[in-house]
Structure 1
Amino acid sequence: MPAPVTPSSDGRRRRGQDNRAKIVAAMLEIIHAGDLAPSAEQVAQRADVGLRTVFRHFQDMDSLFREMSVVIMGELHAAAEAPFRCEAWRERVVELVERRAWAFEKVGPFLRASSLLQRRSRYMDVDHARLVKALREILRQQVPAAVARDQLKLEALDLLLSFEAWSRLRREQGLSPKRAQETLAAAVRRLIE
């Protein structure tokens, strides 16, 4: 028979849940500030918990990254599930540029951290593949069957709507978010005319 839940055990459970949430929030804050591969010590310090508490909730940093990924995917899904403003498929594909610009700008540091950690984390590699597949499926749903069957066009659109394209324009080419979005929208329009 399970032990009864006492107020003290319920309080410990609530503190444990609060600490777990603080640890994940600290990880997200550190990465958003630009440190793409924070240590457990940095996370513990930012969350104002002991290092042992970090590892009590997360056996290793990979499991912490996994939890962080759940939060990020939730934000991306919220953007993806909003109804489209446009009726015509071409305009919906261009609207995808705008949606992804917003989402990639918001979660860009986390996606870059994921990319950096893919080499060390089997989970992050699988998670990245799942994200790429989901983004591609969203694109496929917005184009007519003839375009979806046109492998060259679909591959080019998928590339233009990818985080990698966004990141290249923003980081390597130094474009502002507005200019990067305009550049990608122009390329997409030319491709689907």
Structure 2
Amino acid sequence: MSKETTVDVQSPETQVDGRVARSERTREAIAGALLELLEEGVLRPRAQEIAKRADVAVRTVFQHFDDMEGLYAEILRRQSERIAPFLVPLDPHRSTADKVRALVEMRDNMYALAAPLRRGMTRIGSASKSKTFESALEELRRVMTQQIQQGFVKELHLNTDPYDVLPRIEAITSFEMWDHFIQVQGASRTAVRLHMTVMVLRELQPTG
């Protein structure tokens, strides 16, 4: 007796789903390659370097991303997911000092994670002029401001100039301030946290 031979024939829908999945994996590999290169200090990665790291052909990079804006959008999306845990609301029931320490700790951890990409993006000519990059930074600043406003409602209310205090706290806890301490002054992250904590607490002292 002859044995029946079973042929596994995939439906057109399954074949399409497979191609979509492979395409998505390739996009992720390319975006991940650029992110890794920037984090390793390669400030102006070339398409050849990105392709080599992603293990794809150079033409594949441009097949999956119409332009650099599309590639920037993808790595910024990935970065947003990574820093989300540091943008959670502060517990309003904690003391002012505890909230300040929590805020500064989250800022420090977020900046340490994001610094390589942030520095790399600002040094790439096309990225520094990118509307995608600009929009992402604007949204990040909005969320960071909201975190301060909601976390220190009582403290800001007790201050006679809350509209002046808020931008000063934003400046003190900004990436630019953090990076200046780290890059220019050579301060340790522990020292930066201490400086920021002291300055924010000083700003939040009740006035009037």
TM-score per shorter chain, which class? 0.7 to 0.9
Which consecutive unaligned segments of at least 5 residues does structure 2 have? 1-10
TM-score w.r.t. length of structure 1: 0.88
Computed over aligned residues only, the root mean square deviation of the Cα atoms, in angstroms, reads 2.3
Q: Number of aligned pairs?
A: 190
Check if 1:124 corresponds to 2:125. Answer: no
Identical residues among aligned pairs (%)? 26
- Measured in 2, the distance between the counterparts of 1:127 and 1:57 equals 21
Equivalent AA in structure 2 for residue 137 of structure 1: Q
Check if 1:190 corresponds to 2:186. Answer: no
Which structure would you say has the larger Rg? 2
Structure 1 residue 85: Cα displacement: 9.4
- Aligned counterpart in structure 2 of residue 141 of structure 1, from 132, 150, 165: 150
- Measured in 1, the distance between the counterparts of 2:182 and 2:141 equals 19
Alignment of 1:5-24 (within 5 A): 5-7=13-15, 9-24=16-31
Structure 1 residue 77: Cα displacement: 1.5
Equivalent AA in structure 2 for residue 101 of structure 1: D
Deviations along 1:24-71, one digit per CA (max 9) or x if unpaired, are 111111011012332222211110101111111111122111110011
**130-139 vs 117-126, which moves further:** 117-126
Structure 1 residue 121: Cα displacement: 1.0
Structure 1 residue 84: Cα displacement: 4.1
Structure 1 residue 13: Cα displacement: 2.3
Structure 1 residue 83: Cα displacement: 6.0
Structure 1 residue 4: Cα displacement: 3.3
Aligned twin of 1:62: 69
Q: Secondary structure at the match of 2:13?
A: coil
Which consecutive unaligned segments of at least 5 residues does structure 1 have? none
